[in-house]
Amino acid sequence: MNDVGYFKPIDDANPKVVLLTIDDAPDEHAIEMAKTLKELKAPAIFFVNGHFMDTKEERKVVKQIHDMGFHIGNHTYNHQNLREVSNKQQKKEILKLNKIIEEVIGEKPKFFRAPHGANTDYAEKLVKDEGMLLMNWSYGYDFMADYMEKEALEEIMVNAPQLGKGANLLMHDREWTNAALPGILEGLKEKRL
Ligand SMILES: [Zn+2]
């Protein structure tokens, strides 16, 4: 972590370590992605949104992912760009989801990531006061048009110039990321040799 509480690539980390994160979960592929990660023994953090936890079924999915051993992080209730709303609304976006997550998995989330990486001074302080860690990322490509398909995404995630010591990899609950995930994990494992 750096001095304002962000996670950042760790310069002196074991170069074999990267952090895997899946945002905008649980949409349609989170369970399958969790199974892939577990099968390949890759820990990860799933950053969830409250609007994906409206129903009992959706909440069960989050519980299941947590029970499989993954961390559940807060990614705001409505995937709200925090820079576009009042402090009061930012507070609601973060704390309302914290409460739901706690109800579902029995503990408060330890990590927060702002939608679009759009942090505000207010949210940073709130997150810190709540005892959570604010997270950014080193690289992610699955939201860019050129990488919304399996092969291109596998290739870039394994060979990105930003892949370095302790890199923080951003991925999403998306069809093409789900398809590319086994290849990404295998590719990263090979790089560890
Ligand atoms: Zn997001």
Q: Rounded to the nearest whole angstrom, what is the distance from the C-alpha of residue 33 to the centroid of ligand 1?
A: 16
Let me know: does 15 contact 42? Beta carbons within 8 Å: no
pLDDT number for residue 13: 61
* Strand stretches in the chain, DSSP E: 19-25, 45-48, 71-74, 111-112, 133-134, 168-172
Q: Rounded to the nearest whole angstrom, what is the distance from the C-alpha of residue 47 to the centroid of ligand 1?
A: 8
Residue 126 has pLDDT above 90, yes or no: yes
**DSSP summary character for residue 23:** E
Q: Rounded to the nearest whole angstrom, what is the distance from the C-alpha of residue 111 to the centroid of ligand 1?
A: 14
Average pLDDT over residues 102-109: 97
Q: Rounded to the nearest whole angstrom, what is the distance from the C-alpha of residue 193 to the centroid of ligand 1?
A: 32
Q: Rounded to the nearest whole angstrom, what is the distance from the C-alpha of residue 150 to the centroid of ligand 1?
A: 20
- The full set of domain ranges for the chain reads 19-191
pLDDT single digits (tens) 6-48: 555 556 666 568 899 999 999 999 999 999 999 999 999 999 9
Residues in contact with 169: Cβ distance below 8 Å, sequence separation at least 6, in sequence order: 18, 19, 20, 21, 137, 138, 139, 140, 157
**DSSP summary character for residue 71:** E
pLDDT number for residue 17: 80
Average pLDDT over residues 151-158: 98
- Work out the pLDDT band at 4, boundaries 50, 70, 90: very low
pLDDT number for residue 8: 56
Cα-based distances in Å from 90 to 125, 130, 134 = 11, 13, 14
Q: Rounded to the nearest whole angstrom, what is the distance from the C-alpha of residue 38 to the centroid of ligand 1?
A: 22
Q: Rounded to the nearest whole angstrom, what is the distance from the C-alpha of residue 2 to the centroid of ligand 1?
A: 22
For residues 128 and 175, what is the distance between their CA atoms, to the nearest angstrom?
A: 33
Q: Of 8-12, 40-44, 89-93, 175-179, give the lowest mean pLDDT range.
A: 8-12
pLDDT number for residue 164: 81
Q: Rounded to the nearest whole angstrom, what is the distance from the C-alpha of residue 192 to the centroid of ligand 1?
A: 28
pLDDT number for residue 5: 46
Q: Rounded to the nearest whole angstrom, what is the distance from the C-alpha of residue 57 to the centroid of ligand 1?
A: 21
What's the CATH code, domain 19-191? 3.20.20.370
Let me know: does 170 contact 140? Beta carbons within 8 Å: yes
Q: Rounded to the nearest whole angstrom, what is the distance from the C-alpha of residue 172 to the centroid of ligand 1?
A: 7
Q: Rounded to the nearest whole angstrom, what is the distance from the C-alpha of residue 114 to the centroid of ligand 1?
A: 7
Let me know: does 19 contact 167? Beta carbons within 8 Å: yes
- Give the CA-trace dihedral at 145, 61, 20, 33, to 10 degrees: -60
Q: Rounded to the nearest whole angstrom, what is the distance from the C-alpha of residue 68 to the centroid of ligand 1?
A: 22
